[in-house]
Amino acid sequence: MSRIEIYPGNALIMAPLSGFTDAAYRRSLYRHGCKFAFTEMVDVSAMAYRTQSSFFMLKRSEEDKFLGCQLVGSSVEHAKIAMQELKAYDFDVIDLNLGCPVPKVAKKGAGAALGRNFELAKAIFSVIADNAKCPVTAKLRIVDADDVEPTLQLVKMLEDCGASAITIHGRIKEAFYSGPVDFEQIRLCRETLSIPVIANGGVMNFDNYSEIREQTGCDKVMLARGAMGNPWLFDELQNNKTFERPDVFELAEEIRLHITDTCNLYGEDQGMKLSRKIVHDYLKGRGFKSSYRAEASQMAQLEDLHNLLKKLCDEYGNKP
């Protein structure tokens, strides 16, 4: 697969998030300026065993003008099977996850654990690159907090194997999502490689965004937790001078649209169960009473959501 420029300069990319970035979630992001998004992380072994939920994740909607697929796993044979299955789908990029720190992923030798097993990572990435009909990329974490050389070795190997771009989260596996982001290691990788490096880690607002760009020299940035419950982050970063934070009515309307789409995707019963955590994300950190999040945890029908949103607007709608 020849390398092509996947993302334009200043691109903001939404990270693939397991359990979140389904079609309904992506539609919410698109309403606020996101142009580059991914499916949820898809396990190659689940595809090899033909788990139907994995194939459901691969469906592309008409709103997905650009859609990437991220694969995770530690089996070369299952990666081969998954790539054969993916020939029936249309993606703009296929990405290999070498950065997920979640124990249930890492203990299987996948995600961030695979990012430290260079030989196996090379074998799996090569299978993806050799069988893809679109560009291939990788998302990884820095390997060692004190020494950039292991990370440089990993990214050079991926470039040699055909990666068109690499996303680097500037924290080690053990740090999960806390602590400082190592801008220097990301910068050194960018200066070493001839392919684009996408900076990732800790971008929650415009100040974080400006800092990671300035310190790493990367003009492409991937967002993750900062956009959870805050799709307006794309608006803020792209239109900072004119951006105004949503009031409670705008917040309620976005929640309503997002959760309605989720219920249309899965059916109301399953959709509402999946939506509880999503509503939590929208509500947290905005100064609302904790009772609203507690109520969101009990939602079973869309009517419950509508009642919650009405009470929220009634209580906070006239506050400055």
> Are 132 and 121 a contacting pair, CB within 8 Å?
no
Contacts of 191 by beta carbon, 8 Å cutoff, 6+ apart: 217
**How many C-beta atoms lie closer than 10 Å to residue 203's C-beta?**
25
The burial of 297, by beta-carbon neighbours within 10 Å (0-12 exposed, 13-18 middle, 19 or more buried), is given as: exposed
Considering the domain boundaries, does residue 279 fall inside one? yes
Considering the domain boundaries, does residue 2 fall inside one? no
Provide the number of structural domains found in the chain: 2
Q: Whole-angstrom distance between the N-terminal and C-terminal Cα of the chain?
A: 55
> Are 186 and 217 a contacting pair, CB within 8 Å?
no
Buried residues in 75-91 as b, exposed as e (16+ CB within 10 A):
beebbbbbbebbeebeb
219-259, pLDDT tens digit by residue?
999 999 999 999 999 999 999 999 999 999 999 999 999 99
Instruction: Provide φ and ψ at 97, rounded to 5°.
Output: -80, 115
**Which residue from 98, 64, 69, 62 is spatially nearest to 83, judged by alpha carbons?**
69
Catalytic residues: 100
pLDDT value, residue 318: 80
Verify that 168 and 263 share a domain, yes or no: no
Residue type at 174 in one-letter notation: E
Verify that 47 and 183 share a domain, yes or no: yes
Verify that 149 and 287 share a domain, yes or no: no
Verify that 155 and 294 share a domain, yes or no: no
Considering the domain boundaries, does residue 131 fall inside one? yes
Verify that 202 and 175 share a domain, yes or no: yes
Considering the domain boundaries, does residue 7 fall inside one? no
Domain boundary among 185, 207, 238: 238
Considering the domain boundaries, does residue 56 fall inside one? yes
Considering the domain boundaries, does residue 267 fall inside one? yes
Q: Alpha carbon of 223 to those of 14, 204, 311: distances in Å?
A: 5, 8, 31
Cα maximum dimension of the chain: 60
CA distance 47 to 87: 13
CA distance 39 to 59: 9
Verify that 67 and 198 share a domain, yes or no: yes
pLDDT value, residue 1: 46
Verify that 289 and 196 share a domain, yes or no: no
Verify that 183 and 294 share a domain, yes or no: no
Q: Strand runs (DSSP E) across the chain, as ranges?
A: 12-14, 37-38, 42-43, 67-72, 93-98, 136-141, 165-169, 197-200, 221-223
Name the residue range of residue 260's domain: 248-316
Instruction: Provide φ and ψ at 140, rounded to 5°.
Output: -140, 170
Verify that 201 and 303 share a domain, yes or no: no
Considering the domain boundaries, does residue 3 fall inside one? no
Contacts of 163 by beta carbon, 8 Å cutoff, 6+ apart: 3, 125, 129, 136, 137, 138, 195
CA distance 265 to 269: 11
Verify that 307 and 171 share a domain, yes or no: no
Domain boundary among 238, 267, 299: 238
Considering the domain boundaries, does residue 6 fall inside one? no
Kindly report the CATH number assigned to the domain that includes residue 122: 3.20.20.70
- Which residues of the chain, if any, have pLDDT below 50? 1
Verify that 193 and 260 share a domain, yes or no: no
Residue type at 3 in one-letter notation: R
Domain boundary among 238, 263, 282: 238
200-219, pLDDT tens digit by residue?
999 999 999 999 999 999 99
> Are 197 and 228 a contacting pair, CB within 8 Å?
no
Please state the pTM of the whole predicted model: 0.96
Verify that 260 and 234 share a domain, yes or no: no
